[in-house]
Amino acid sequence: MKRIAVCPGSFDPITLGHLDIITRASKLFDEVIVLISKNAGKAQASFTPAERMYLIEKATEGMENVVIDILDGLLADYVRNINAIAIVKGLRAVSDFEYEFQMALANKKLYDGAETVFLTTKSENMYLSSSIVKQIAYFGGDISHFVPECVLEDIKKRLVKENKNYEY
Ligand code: PNS
């Protein structure tokens, strides 16, 4: 039986921190599904689900056991439906812990058949988040150290404040 893991997140947009977690998860499981999910607690996303999918596809090109999907529902239901054995999340700092712990417990209550697995982020990605990337890019700052090189221009063109009408 294939050992499938789901790597859920907003990915708005994908960062080097996300890519690191996806890459490491792909070495631990037979298949990793990067699941673009809705975080009901966050304000309106900057990128549409289709845009986020395009960026993740580009950033994970060549990773044979990584697939991308979009979820408009409960993560626990998705995990159950595809028979995944794990939910993989990246942990940056202590500040992530309480929220992630809460989600892991809630998901376990909703579906007991999968485990949440936390991978500690690389130290250089400790401070990195999609919202930091968006703020820097909006004001024309350099985000080349924060996002995969192959999607750098796409993200810049889309986020810089003078260029709000950019389309893929
Ligand atoms: O990248 P984020 O925003 O921290 O990821 C949070 C996310 C999207 C994984 C979480 O909000 C989620 O699982 N959303 C799907 C809907 C769901 O199942 N919510 C209940 C989680 S306990």
**Closest ligand 1 atom to Cα of 103:** 22
Determine which residue's CA is closest to atom 13 belonging to ligand 1.
Answer: 75
C-alpha 137/C-alpha 25 separation (Å) is 28
Catalytic site includes residue 38 = no
- Per-residue confidence (pLDDT) for residue 95, from 0 to 100: 80
Structure tokens at 58: 């580009």
Quick check: CB of 8 below 6 Å from ligand 1?
yes
DSSP-assigned letters across all residues of 45-67: -SS-HHHHHHHHHHHTTT-TTEE
pLDDT band per the 50, 70, 90 thresholds, residue 56: very high
- Per-residue confidence (pLDDT) for residue 23, from 0 to 100: 98
CATH 2.120.10.70 fits 4-159, yes or no: no
CA geometry: angle 18, 4, 70, nearest 5 deg: 55
pLDDT tens profile 111-142: 999 999 999 999 999 999 999 999 999 888 99
C-alpha 121/C-alpha 161 separation (Å) is 30
- The alpha-carbon radius of gyration of the chain (Å, integer) is 16
Residue ranges of domains in the chain:
4-159
- Per-residue confidence (pLDDT) for residue 166, from 0 to 100: 53
| Whether residue 103 has pLDDT greater than 90 | yes
DSSP 3-state of 28:
helix
Quick check: CB of 38 below 6 Å from ligand 1?
yes
Alpha helices in 111-160 (DSSP H): 130-138, 149-159
pTM: 0.94
C-alpha 22/C-alpha 69 separation (Å) is 14
